[in-house]
A and B are shown apart, each in its own frame.
Chain A
Amino acid sequence: MTEEQRAASDPAATDERAEELRSRLEEARAEAERYLNNWRRAEADLANYKRRAEQEREEMKRYANASLIINILPVLDDLERALGSLDARLAGLTWFDGIRLIARKLQAVLESAGVREIPAEGQSFDPRLHEAIHFAEGEEGKVLAVAQKGYTLHDRVLRPALVIVGKGKPAAEEGQASQQESQSNG
């Protein structure tokens, strides 16, 4: 109380006190601004998080099987390789027909899960779907042969088809020229 009286009687002290209050108000305002800002960010974060979580749940549903399927594909490859290199002595056995049916069943299961084979042989080489592992004489830019089949799950490439791509006629200068060029760098 005495302090207030003194403050009232002393203009300098009043100014000082006003100044102090002003700066305290300033601080409080700045703090409020900061909190409001953080709050807005937290709300925005939550909104974004919800949206993303929803998106990811959808993705998850669609591609949940992808990692399992990717590991099953080599088994299918091997089975197809086995069937493809069939010995004539075995071909007639009904036992072997059974094995063929098993392979077909596996394919059907994968297909029903949304797995599709990527068309490759005879197509134009497309690096979004095909992976080139070799060059060979043949129509330029076309897939001449498939070394390993590629597959998509829904609209995503699970694994590209490994293909051999044509590089044009054997006499074509182009292919050789570029090879020399790359060697000349070495």
Chain B
Amino acid sequence: MGRAIGIDLGTTNSCMAVMEGGEPKVIPSAEGERIVPSVVAMSNTGERLVGRPAKRQAIVNPENTIFSIKRLMGRKFNDPEVQRALKFLPYKVDAAPNGDARVWMGGRSYSPPEISAMILQKLKMDAEAYLGEPVTEAVITVPAYFDDAQRQATKAAGEIAGLNVLRIINEPTAASLAYGLDKQGEKIIAVYDLGGGTFDISILEIGEGTFHVRATAGDTFLGGDDFDNRIIDWLVDEFRKETGIDLRQDRVAMQRLKEAAEKAKVELSTLMQTEINLPFIAADASGPKHLVRTLTRARLEQMVADLVERTLGPCREALETAGLRPDQVDEVILVGGQTRMPLVQETVRKFFGREPHKGVNPDEVVAVGAAIQAGVLKGEVREVLLLDVTPLDLGIETLGGIMTTIIPRNTTIPTSKSQVFTTAADNQTSVEIHVLQGNRPLAKDNKSLARFILDGILPAPRGVPQIEVAFDIDANGILHVSARDKATGREQKVIVQPSTGLSSEEIERMKREAELYAEEDRRRKEEIELRNQADNLAYTAEKTLREVGDRIPAHLRGEIEDKVRRLRDALAGQDITPIRRAMDELSYTLQQAGAAVYGQQAGVGQEPPPGEGPGRGPEGTVEGEYREV
């Protein structure tokens, strides 16, 4: 069984998305773009091109490059809309025997669904490459005003492309689904869709999960391209006034102007002004000419004010058809890249008297909604499980009163984790597990949740026993802590009910304190760690003397004993500087002793130096970080 995707089959561009891990995700094309131009061509060499490559050769192969096929879908050749489209379509369109419009490409005629199928086929292939599995089913969107013949034609296109069309849904409905408006009871929704070349306004009524289209209106020849052209016209005029050169005669210059105009338009959606900077745009007898202009948002808004105003006519018309006043509309959704423009958003907000939805990328919102619909139909959108997270670190106290975190904060539950610890002293037969909650590095600053003792550990040198401490939080937030001696299998557990945890106020307070004392805590923790290291070093030195002392030259042996004593004295004091100094001295002498021993006997029979485990602590404390899991 293959995957089901959602497809926004647009007039100028198409987009597709899929549900993944319960979230809709836009699928990029093989060219790495999130939208694919709805263009198909038969190249001069007889190759079929779809999408971006087809668009790139349109200028040199106009009669075999089919774009805007959506304007012909499911229409008769004598349909006024088709006749209107003919004025700007450079490819041949005529009537099929049954009166349907059909197009010619590469010396052959094609029905509009066949052309659309080529676009869908490319989307299908790219989706399969991306997902790594077959895509067999799709939900495809159409404008709300599409009649039955146009919907049938769209469905046929999907089937020709090898897709089982689960459902044809309206573009505004898909946009509403993307915003989850189907789950909020009865509502009137206005969907304002200003794309690259067309404008659509739809008024939907939603209730009990069903969508009813109350009215649609629009302008099939108004879109973002018109906005770009206003900027280009302005630049050309300004340049002519300044230099007398008409850039329209220069295709290369016009190409640069087009790119710069679109870039400026996009930038002015977030910036108040931008610079259009095109050096060496032209040249005359006096030398090269540069085009540099600053365009402010206000100036751009003046240039396109009438275009934006033109969208309000259809809005009024649609409301009138629906028999509604603007204030009776509950939600407004923006679709199409041009709705990113602040002036458009402001105009829509004023007209309907409410803030429009605009969180989902307006170029992708329809495909996203289609993917959600596909997911619902395939049963992939399942009941939502609300998963909690742990607000604070959970851990145990280790040597020196340090909090060792086992489950860090913000971990999604249910979860479990374990870590292996060891003893802090020789022949230690029991350890105390002190369960803590909080973000502070020292145990005493955190909340104590439970304490228990694991005893019956076989006498062994420190660092040898392995005690596995496991934390498990179940779906109800109940924490189970267990400690198990790996050698004997002895185990102790405790269950901490969530009620013994913290209230939300306490959690907030603890988080605040953790930030407040971060620096001080870090210093204190460092000190404790240094003391642990010092203690461990002294222990190692004593052990070395005990085990291989006879091979160490007498003068070094005395020196080591002396320095161990000094280190222990330093440890008894408050100041850490003498501890550090005593450690340095001792490790220096130990190295000398090591060199002497190895020198005698090339390392034979030497025990590897003890691990990184810190030193001895108060009886019963678990020693930190003998980590192996």
Instruction: Report the interface size for chain A: residues with CB under 8 A from the other chain.
Output: 38
Q: How far is the CB of A63 from chain B (nearest CB, A)?
A: 7
CB contact list, B474-513 vs A, under 8 A: none
Interface residues of A in 126-162 (CB under 8 A from B): 127-128, 130-135, 140-141, 147-148, 156-157, 160, 162
Chain A residues within an 8 Å CB radius of B32: 63, 156
Pairwise interchain contact B49-A127, C-beta atoms closer than 8 A = yes
Bound form: Cα–Cα A125–B43 in Å: 10
Q: Does B519 contact A (CB under 8 A)?
A: no
Is B619 an interface position by the 8 A CB rule?
Answer: no
Given A127-B43, A148-B252, A162-B252: A82 in contact with B60 (beta carbons within 8 A): no
**Which residues of the partner chain B approach A5 to less than 8 Å between Cβ atoms?**
none
Rounded to whole angstroms, the CA-CA distance of A133 and B54 in the bound complex is: 13
- Distance of A167 Cα from B382 Cα, bound (Å): 57
Tell whether A46 pairs with B21 under 8 Å between CB atoms, given A38-B383, A85-B280, A157-B31: yes
Task: Give residues of chain B (263-286) contacting chain A, Cβ–Cβ below 8 Å.
Answer: 279-280, 283
Q: Point out the residues of chain A lying under 8 angstroms from B31, CB to CB.
A: 156-157
How far apart sit A148 and B257, CA to CA, in the bound complex (Å)? 13
Given A49-B21, A52-B20, A162-B255, A85 and B283 touching (CB < 8 A)? yes
A75: min CB distance to chain B, Å: 10
Give A165 to B255 CA distance when docked, in angstroms. Answer: 15
A contact residues around B93 at 8 Å (CB)? 185
A157 contacts across to B, CB distance below 8 A: 31
Closest to A161 in B: B56
Contact of B21 with A48 in the complex, beta carbons under 8 Å = yes
For chain B, residues 130 to 167, give those with C-beta under 8 angstroms from any C-beta of chain A. Answer: 132
User: In chain A, residues 63-79, which have Cβ atoms closer than 8 Å to a Cβ of chain B?
Assistant: 63, 78
Once the chains are docked, how many angstroms separate the CA of A130 from the CA of B55? Answer: 11
Q: B60 near A167 (CB under 8 angstroms)?
A: yes
- Enumerate chain B residues within 8 angstroms of A185, measured Cβ to Cβ: 86, 89-93
A133 CB contacts on chain B under 8 angstroms: 59, 251-252, 255
A186 on the B face (CB < 8 A): yes
Fill in one digit per residue for B278-311: 1 if any A CB lies within 8 Å of its CB, else 0: 0110010001100000000000000000000000
Whether B578 sits at the interface, judged by CB under 8 Å, is no
User: Does A26 reach chain B (CB closer than 8 Å)?
Assistant: no
Query: Inside 8 A of B63's CB, which chain A residues have their CB?
Result: 178, 181-182
Is B22's beta carbon under 8 Å from chain A?
A: yes
**Residues in A whose Cβ lies below 8 Å from that of B380:** 41
Contact A127 B54 (CB under 8 A): yes
Residue pair A135, B60 in contact (C-beta under 8 Å): yes
Nearest CB of chain A from residue B456's CB, rounded to whole Å: 38
B66 to chain A, nearest CB (A): 13
Question: A51, A127, A134, A140: which contacts B53 (Cβ < 8 A)?
Answer: A127
Q: How many residues of B contact A (CB 8 A)?
A: 41
| Cα of A87 to Cα of B88 in the assembled complex, Å | 43
Q: Please state if B57 and A127 are interface contacts (CB–CB under 8 Å).
A: yes
User: B30: shortest Cβ distance to chain A, in Å?
Assistant: 10
What A residues does B382 contact at CB under 8 A?
Answer: 38, 41
Looking across the interface, which residue of chain B has its beta carbon closest to that of A81?
B280
Q: Which of B364-382 contact A (CB under 8 A)?
A: 380, 382
A82 to B43, CA, bound (A): 36
For A147, what are the chain B residues with a Cβ–Cβ distance below 8 Å? 251-252, 255
Which residues of chain B are within 8 angstroms of A182 by Cβ–Cβ distance?
Answer: 62-63, 90-92
By a CB distance below 8 angstroms, the chain B residues around A48 are 20-21
Does A78 lie within 8 Å of B252, measured CB to CB?
A: no
Given A41-B380, A85-B283, A156-B32, are A135 and B87 neighbors across the interface (CB < 8 Å)?
no
**A128 and B59 contact, CB distance less than 8 A:** no
Do the beta carbons of A132 and B86 come within 8 Å of each other? no
Q: Which of B22, B53, B86, B92 contacts A181 (CB 8 A)?
A: B92
A-B contact pairs, 28 of them (CB 8 A): A46-B21, A48-B20, A49-B21, A82-B288, A85-B283, A125-B60, A127-B53, A128-B53, A130-B56, A132-B57, A132-B60, A132-B61, A133-B255, A140-B44, A141-B44, A141-B45, A147-B251, A147-B252, A156-B31, A162-B255, A178-B62, A178-B63, A181-B92, A182-B90, A182-B91, A182-B92, A185-B89, A185-B90
Q: Which 5 A-B residue pairs are closest in the complex by CB-CB distance?
A: A81-B280, A127-B53, A127-B57, A131-B56, A147-B252
On A, residues with C-beta under 8 Å from B are: 38, 41, 45-46, 48-49, 51-52, 63, 78, 81-82, 85, 87, 125, 127-128, 130-135, 140-141, 147-148, 156-157, 160, 162, 165, 167, 178, 181-182, 185-186
- Excluding A41-B380, A132-B57, A148-B252, 6 further A-B contacts by CB distance (< 8 Å) are A49-B20, A127-B43, A127-B56, A128-B53, A167-B60, A186-B87
